[in-house]
Amino acid sequence: MGMTVTEKILARHAGRSSVQAGENVWVHVDVLMTHDVCGPGTIGVFKEHFGPTAKVWDRERVVIIPDHYIFTADSKAHRNVDILRDFVREQGIKYYYDPDFIQGEGMPNPYKDPTQTKYKGVCHKALPEEGHVRPGEVLLGTDSHTCTAGAFGQFATGIGNTDAGFVLGTGKLWLKVPPTMRFVFRGEIPPYLTAKDLILAVIGKISVSGATYRCMYFAGDGIASLSLEDRMTLTNMAIEAGGKNGVCDVDEKTLRYVKARSNRPDWEVFKDDPDATFIETYEWDLAKLEPLVAKPHSPDNTDTARNCKDVKADRVYIGSCTGGKITDMIFAAAILNGQKVKVPTFVVPGSTEVHADMLKLNVRGEPKAAAEKSIMDVLAEAGCTIGPSGCAACLGGPADTFGRLNEPLVCVSTTNRNFPGRMGHKEAGVYLASPLTAAASAITGKITDPREYVSGRIPTGSAGLV
């Protein structure tokens, strides 16, 4: 019987010629990622079960990326970073991205130059940038949005601290092979849509539990027309439908990026067999899809931006692993160029590389000439408040977190979750939206269909290509 990409990857990593959905197999892991929130707990499990002097299974396959509670004076958050530092030193972990500006107590001073810090920002954005994401591999991470890396044609999923502690000690995990659901998008993506609209359409259709323990495979010429970064938005939110993993086909865009970045040569591209089994298939015609939002308090509470035009916004937030990539910043800047925001608008680059690109690229995504404005200039002149890279207010965090909703505000956000309290205050109302919709809403102070501001294709130039 034919296999899907996910089945083929898991079979290969289980040392088997084939597996079927529903089977449990021991899977060898290529990369284990952890961060400042779950890293200390994972290290605790590892030491408890493997002993205080145990060594990790492979110091070059463990990647540690602090990103969640970074720009805060909270002493417990700083303590977590210190635990990671001690572990990295003790184990000789090769890939660790230290927030080197956290020294001592109090609110750390953000890096002055995003190219002059070891810190990388949000783990799911930093993983591919730093060469840890490759087709055909198994990536596990102690964060539910680890599924983001499925955009690169690999099996990537979030696991808990207990499983991660076991992987640290053994390099393998007992996994059930998920069945695959297929989501087909037809036609080229129109200029007023981004992948955020596509994934909201999917989640609105199948609900937040519609893909529970299933692989979500995004297919069709509509997906091929997306940039690699936009595909990451799709797979990032697979978990918002309960998906075990999300996956996209590998094409020239993927290969170009991975070949330019990967720190290992030994990876393999898998394709679905022609007779692979998909337990369900859904199809959309992109020309008929409208800009969408997810209303409070669930990602499946979707509606068109047009239907929400009377909803007043108190704040706009553009950031996170979902909506803080360089192409997201270009989409926002294209709308805000020459405009002024009407409501406080917080912008958080997804990584320090995105931050650096915002300084050096123009609004078309090309290196800016001396007299040209950068993406950063455009957003700042529009009145946005721009913070340092990190998870920031995407998950609320301590009260001093940049952009956190400390009051019951209505916020239009490019993030991925809008459950009560997710961005801070339990009574805040978060509308999930694309960067185009978020930027258009910042100008009007109400939820706004970006078609009012988008007149043609928005070029993204060389941004996010390699």
Residue ranges that bind ligand SF4, judged by CB under 6 A: 68, 122, 124, 143, 145, 320-321, 391, 394-395, 415-416
Work out how close the CB of 390 gets to ligand SF4 at its nearest, in angstroms, rounded to a whole number. Answer: 8
Backbone torsions φ then ψ of 357, nearest 5 degrees: -65, -35
Nearer to ligand SF4, 395 or 443 (CB): 395
In angstroms, the CA 430 to CA 214 distance is 27
Nearest approach, Cβ of residue 81 and ligand SF4 (Å): 15
Q: How many helices (H) and strands (E) does the chain have?
A: 14, 18
Backbone angles phi, psi at 33, to 5 degrees: -110, 140
Sorted by sequence, the CB contacts under 8 Å of residue 89 that are 6+ apart come out as none
Minimum separation from the CB atom of position 259 to ligand SF4 (A)? 26
**Sheet with 345-347, side-by-side order of all strands:** 302-304, 292-294, 429-432, 410-413, 315-318, 345-347, 385-386
Sign of CA dihedral 363, 366, 369, 370: positive
CB of 124 to ligand SF4, least distance (A): 6
Selection from 157, 110, 166 nearest residue 9 by Cα: 157
Minimum Å distance from CB 434 to ligand SF4?
Answer: 16
**Closest CB to ligand SF4 among 127 and 250?**
127
Q: Where are the beta strands (DSSP E) in 263-329?
A: 280-285, 292-294, 302-304, 315-318
Nearer to ligand SF4, 391 or 411 (CB): 391
Nearer to ligand SF4, 321 or 354 (CB): 321
Query: What does 150-210 look like in DSSP terms, one character per residue?
Result: GGGTSEEEE--HHHHHHHHHHSEEEEEPPPEEEEEEESPPPTT--HHHHHHHHHHHH-TTT
Compute the least distance from the CB of residue 265 to ligand SF4, in Å: 28
Closer CB to ligand SF4, 223 or 394, in the complex: 394
DSSP 3-state of 315: strand
- In this complex, which beta carbon is closest to ligand SF4, that of residue 382 or of residue 394? 394
d(CA 324, CA 418): 16
CB closer to ligand SF4 out of 296 and 323: 323
- Smallest distance from the beta carbon of 130 to ligand SF4, in angstroms? 15
CB of 125 to ligand SF4, least distance (A): 8
321/347 with CB nearer ligand SF4: 321
Q: Give residues with Cβ within 8 angstroms of 113, minimum separation 6.
A: none
Q: Is 371 exposed, middle or buried (0-12, 13-18, 19+ CB in 10 A)?
A: exposed
| 321 versus 411: smaller Cβ distance to ligand SF4 | 321
Q: Does the N-terminal peptide bond of residue 297 adopt cis geometry, omega within 30 degrees of 0?
A: yes
User: Which residue's entry shows tokens 């993993």?
Assistant: 245
Supply the minimum distance, in Å, between the C-beta of residue 332 and ligand SF4.
16
Report the nearest approach of ligand SF4 to the CB of residue 147 (Å): 11
Nearer to ligand SF4, 30 or 36 (CB): 36
**CB of 91 or CB of 413, closer to ligand SF4:** 413
Residue 85, burial from CB neighbour count under 10 angstroms (0-12, 13-18, 19+): middle
How far, in Å, are 224, 361, 387, 458, 464 from residue 189 at the CA level? 9, 23, 30, 11, 17
Q: Which C-beta is closer to ligand SF4: that of 302 or that of 320?
A: 320
Cβ–Cβ contacts within 10 Å for residue 186, how many? Answer: 15
406-445: buried (b, 16+ CB within 10 Å) or exposed (e) per residue?
eeebbbbbbbbbbeeebbbbeebbbbbbbbbbbbbbbbbb
Q: How far is the CB of 378 from ligand SF4 (least distance, A)?
A: 23
Question: Nearest distance from residue 391's CB to ligand SF4, in Å?
Answer: 3
